[in-house]
Amino acid sequence: MTHHFLVSHPQYELVSSHAQPTEYRALRDAARNDARMYAIMKCFFRQVSVSVNSRIRVEDIKEESMSIGPHEKHEKRDVPMNKSAKEALHRYLAIRPKIDDDHVLVTKSGKPFLVA
């Protein structure tokens, strides 16, 4: 005796990994009083992935852009920064812990962000 089972596959909606405008504004506003998190929001959140952000070095920061090194299938590129992103980044770099490591994004204890 052969049994045939019909299995319906669940329907699901693909959700973008990027924040929607209202989500971005809420996160930005929540981070406004924390220079490190605000810089992350303004400079990095919408531009490149978190794993790429964690690899950016101080020398990668230019006057008008950030230099992003090659990663996976992406070539090296410069990502422009708008005025508010530049201001947020300079505000963060002014309070960034004075450490030997040259990663831009470091934890409050001075360790580079770890991203799996």
Predicted pLDDT at 71: 77
Of 6, 103, 93, nearest to 42 by C-alpha is 93
Predicted pLDDT at 82: 85
What are the residue ranges spanned by the domains of the chain? 21-95
Q: Which whole-number Å values give the CA distances from 72 to 51, 64, 76, in the listed order?
A: 11, 25, 10
pLDDT mean over 82-105: 88
Give the percent of the chain with pLDDT over 70: 75
Indicate the average pLDDT of the chain.
79
d(CA 56, CA 27): 22
- CA torsion, points 43, 44, 48, 51, in degrees to nearest 10? 150
Predicted TM-score (pTM) above 0.85: no
